Amino acid sequence: MSSPAIPSSRTTRLLAFGGGLLAAASVALSAYAAHGFEGVAQSRLQTAAVFAFGHGVGLAALAPAAFGRMERIALLALLAGALLFSGSLVSNVLAQWPTTLAPTGGLLLIGGWVLWAVAALRR
């Protein structure tokens, strides 16, 4: 008996790809923070790395299971949220930009996880 084929759309492949890159970048960011910064700057970069890694792994793992539109929207929200949240913290440390996008990123992360949970109940 063969297992059923898992449908793969271009969006789900790109989400998994984005998750893998996000996780890889977070490892580099964590090393950079550990060896190049101290105090608040190091803490912000480490926080950015933790959020990017966790959500990158989540995206890479969950993308193949994103069969429906709601699941893909949830994962797109996670990707956008991780980029905005982590990117805002990183740009604050490296370019002294304000962290004004971090709350929007955080809300997208929360919303993405809630939408994923609702989609799981609807299956």
Domain assignment present for 106? yes
Let me know: does 99 contact 89? Beta carbons within 8 Å.
Answer: yes
pLDDT of residue 59: 96
Mean pLDDT of the chain: 93
The string of pLDDT tens digits covering residues 77-88 is: 999 999 999 999
Residues of the chain above pLDDT 70, percent? 93
pLDDT of residue 8: 67
Instruction: State how far the Cα of 51 lies from the Cα of 49, in Å rounded to an integer.
Output: 6
Instruction: State how far the Cα of 95 lies from the Cα of 98, in Å rounded to an integer.
Output: 9
Name the residue among 63, 61, 62, 109 with its Cα closest to residue 85. Answer: 109
Domain assignment present for 4? no
Domain assignment present for 108? yes
Domain assignment present for 61? yes
The string of pLDDT tens digits covering residues 24-47 is: 999 999 999 999 999 999 999 999
Determine which of 6-10, 21-25, 49-53 has the lowest per-residue pLDDT on average.
6-10
